[in-house]
Amino acid sequence: MPKLHRKGKGKPLRDAMDAAGLSGPELAEATKEVDPAGKGVSPATVGRITGRGKTARDTCEWTTAWYVAQALHRRVNAPLQDLFDMPPHLTVKVERSTPDAQEE
Protein backbone atom coordinates (compact mmCIF):
# COMPACT_ATOMS: atom_id res chain seq x y z
CA MET A 1 0.00 0.00 0.00
CA PRO A 2 1.40 3.42 -0.88
CA LYS A 3 2.24 5.90 1.83
CA LEU A 4 0.05 8.95 2.29
CA HIS A 5 1.45 12.48 2.01
CA ARG A 6 0.65 15.12 4.60
CA LYS A 7 -0.88 18.23 3.10
CA GLY A 8 0.74 21.65 3.34
CA LYS A 9 3.90 20.45 5.09
CA GLY A 10 1.70 19.43 8.06
CA LYS A 11 -0.03 22.80 8.55
CA PRO A 12 -3.57 21.34 8.31
CA LEU A 13 -2.56 18.77 10.94
CA ARG A 14 -1.17 21.44 13.24
CA ASP A 15 -4.26 23.62 12.71
CA ALA A 16 -6.56 20.69 13.57
CA MET A 17 -4.49 19.93 16.67
CA ASP A 18 -4.77 23.57 17.77
CA ALA A 19 -8.54 23.56 17.18
CA ALA A 20 -8.85 20.33 19.18
CA GLY A 21 -6.62 21.70 21.94
CA LEU A 22 -4.22 18.77 21.64
CA SER A 23 -0.44 18.72 21.94
CA GLY A 24 1.61 16.10 20.10
CA PRO A 25 1.75 13.69 23.06
CA GLU A 26 -1.98 14.22 23.70
CA LEU A 27 -2.79 13.43 20.07
CA ALA A 28 -0.65 10.30 20.30
CA GLU A 29 -2.62 9.25 23.38
CA ALA A 30 -5.91 9.99 21.58
CA THR A 31 -4.95 7.64 18.73
CA LYS A 32 -5.08 4.74 21.18
CA GLU A 33 -8.84 5.31 21.45
CA VAL A 34 -9.36 4.70 17.72
CA ASP A 35 -6.85 1.86 17.28
CA PRO A 36 -8.66 -1.48 17.73
CA ALA A 37 -5.45 -2.92 19.22
CA GLY A 38 -5.19 0.04 21.60
CA LYS A 39 -1.57 0.78 20.64
CA GLY A 40 -2.11 4.02 18.72
CA VAL A 41 0.65 6.11 17.19
CA SER A 42 3.81 6.96 19.11
CA PRO A 43 4.47 10.56 20.20
CA ALA A 44 7.65 10.51 18.09
CA THR A 45 5.70 9.59 14.95
CA VAL A 46 3.10 12.28 15.64
CA GLY A 47 5.97 14.74 16.00
CA ARG A 48 7.47 13.68 12.68
CA ILE A 49 4.24 14.03 10.66
CA THR A 50 3.17 17.30 12.30
CA GLY A 51 6.63 18.85 12.60
CA ARG A 52 8.51 21.45 10.60
CA GLY A 53 12.16 20.76 11.38
CA LYS A 54 14.82 18.37 10.12
CA THR A 55 13.03 15.34 11.55
CA ALA A 56 9.69 16.16 9.90
CA ARG A 57 8.40 13.61 7.40
CA ASP A 58 6.03 14.26 4.49
CA THR A 59 4.79 10.67 4.25
CA CYS A 60 3.43 8.07 6.62
CA GLU A 61 1.74 4.70 6.59
CA TRP A 62 -1.96 4.60 5.76
CA THR A 63 -2.84 3.26 9.22
CA THR A 64 -0.88 6.05 10.92
CA ALA A 65 -2.74 8.68 8.89
CA TRP A 66 -6.06 6.95 9.64
CA TYR A 67 -5.55 6.85 13.41
CA VAL A 68 -4.36 10.47 13.54
CA ALA A 69 -7.24 11.70 11.37
CA GLN A 70 -9.83 9.69 13.32
CA ALA A 71 -8.54 10.97 16.67
CA LEU A 72 -8.71 14.56 15.40
CA HIS A 73 -12.07 14.07 13.69
CA ARG A 74 -13.61 12.96 17.00
CA ARG A 75 -12.80 16.40 18.40
CA VAL A 76 -13.01 18.74 15.39
CA ASN A 77 -14.16 18.45 11.79
CA ALA A 78 -10.88 17.17 10.34
CA PRO A 79 -11.52 14.34 7.86
CA LEU A 80 -8.62 12.34 6.45
CA GLN A 81 -8.83 13.97 3.01
CA ASP A 82 -8.29 17.42 4.56
CA LEU A 83 -5.08 16.28 6.23
CA PHE A 84 -3.47 13.78 3.83
CA ASP A 85 -3.17 13.14 0.07
CA MET A 86 -2.56 10.02 -1.93
CA PRO A 87 0.83 9.99 -3.68
CA PRO A 88 0.80 11.91 -6.98
CA HIS A 89 1.57 8.75 -8.92
CA LEU A 90 1.58 5.10 -8.04
CA THR A 91 4.54 2.94 -8.95
CA VAL A 92 2.55 -0.25 -9.34
CA LYS A 93 3.59 -2.07 -12.49
CA VAL A 94 1.44 -4.76 -14.02
CA GLU A 95 3.14 -7.62 -15.79
CA ARG A 96 1.32 -8.47 -18.99
CA SER A 97 1.54 -11.74 -20.83
CA THR A 98 2.55 -11.84 -24.48
CA PRO A 99 -0.35 -12.53 -26.85
CA ASP A 100 -0.33 -16.10 -28.23
CA ALA A 101 0.41 -14.89 -31.77
CA GLN A 102 3.71 -13.35 -30.65
CA GLU A 103 5.09 -16.34 -28.78
CA GLU A 104 8.31 -17.85 -30.08
Q: Which domains, from first to last, does the chain contain?
A: 4-85 (1.10.260)
Non-local CB neighbours of 92 within 8 Å, separated by 6+ positions:
none
Q: How confident is the model at residue 67 (pLDDT cuts 50, 70, 90)?
A: very high
E strands, the chain, in order: 4-6, 59-60, 84-85
pLDDT tens digits, 10-23: 999 999 999 999 99
Handedness of CA 39, 17, 77, 85 (dihedral sign): negative
| Residue 35 pLDDT exceeds 80 | yes
Quick check: pTM over 0.85? Answer: no
